Amino acid sequence: MLIVEGVEKAYKAGGLFSRKKQKILKNISFECKSGECLGIIGESGSGKSTLGRLLIGIEQPDIGRVLFEGGNVNNRVTRCGRISAVFQNYTSSINPFFTVKQAIMEPLKVKKKPKIEIENKIDYLLYQVGLDSSYKEKYPHELSGGQVQRVCIARAIATEPKCILLDEAISSLDVSVQVQILELLKELKEIYNMSYIFITHDIQAASYICDRIIIFKDGKIEETVETSDLKNVQSKYARNLLKKLITF
């Protein structure tokens, strides 16, 4: 469903007038199948989030391409309403001057449906993420971190996408709330038969929700492993990384 072919990405390094570039992603290729939850784990600075931005078309690769159901994600038509995202920093993910209703309504505008139908849809989305309709008129600063992230998830599923990118989506939340959000994500995945790209440094979270896991190192794929076989990773780096993340 989502195919990454030979992707590379570099950014300018060394100041405004420097011609030097630092390569962040190096020849990345993989596939995320329909209905699959694919985890991407690695240390900070390994290139995970850069890859995430390329997967949803926020940035373009220097080399290679990202295809979604045969179309290039750089094409807005390919990704509109079909790929969405939930990010780590939920405080900046929603316009602070938007009510919950306005935030969730944003992606629904492209559907051009009757107002009453959109209202009912928002009520249902809030119900699905564990919030009642009284939250519609609240602003982000009136909600807890977990509640704001639930609103972000409601917005992400509003168009019933086929794939959601989750970039450190639970890492800023309290541990007890993380478990609740993971359970919610598992439920929604089954309801909508979506695929997830789950970017994280939390190996426990990844092993709980993911079917397969890609281990990232310095902008390259070090190893890909079925979650059920995670304890049998082959490379020394993967073994050390998992040991470090579990200890952490």
Helix (H) or strand (E) holding 123: helix 115-128
Beginning with the edge strand found earlier in the chain, give each strand of the sheet holding 21-32 in spatial order.
Answer: 21-32, 2-12, 63-68, 71-72
pLDDT one-digit tens code per residue, 47-94: 999 999 999 999 999 999 999 999 999 999 999 889 999 998 877 788
HSE-CB of 65 using CA atoms within 13 angstroms: 9
CA-based nearest residue to 51, from 91, 106, 2, 1: 2
pLDDT at 202: 87
pLDDT at 248: 44
pLDDT exceeds cutoff 60 at 217 = yes
Mean pLDDT confidence for 176-195:
93
pLDDT one-digit tens code per residue, 98-128: 999 999 998 888 777 788 899 999 999 999 9
pLDDT exceeds cutoff 90 at 203 = no
Instruction: Give how far Cα 186 sits from Cα of 58, 198, 211, Å.
Output: 26, 12, 12
pLDDT one-digit tens code per residue, 131-140: 999 999 999 9
Mean pLDDT confidence for 145-152:
93
pLDDT exceeds cutoff 80 at 142 = yes
pLDDT exceeds cutoff 50 at 35 = yes
pLDDT exceeds cutoff 60 at 247 = no
pLDDT at 9: 96
For residue 141, count other CB atoms closer than 10 A to its CB.
8
pLDDT exceeds cutoff 70 at 16 = no
pLDDT at 112: 76
Q: How many helices (H) and strands (E) does the chain have?
A: 9, 10
Name the DSSP letter for residue 69: T
Helix axis angle, 100-108 to 115-128, nearest 10°: 110
Q: CB of 203 within 8 A of CB of 227? A: no
Beginning with the edge strand found earlier in the chain, give each strand of the sheet holding 195-200 in spatial order.
Answer: 83-87, 163-167, 195-200, 37-41, 212-217, 220-226
Confidence of residue 235 (pLDDT cuts 50, 70, 90): confident
Residue 188's region, left for phi above 0, alpha for psi from -120 to 50, else beta, is: alpha
Residue 224's identity, in one-letter code, is T
Domains contained in the chain, CATH given: 1-82+194-248 (3.40.50.300)
Distance CA 40, CA 155 (A): 23
Average pLDDT, the chain: 91
Mean pLDDT confidence for 11-39:
88
User: Residue for token digits 């190096």?
Assistant: 26
CA-based nearest residue to 33, from 219, 210, 229, 215: 210
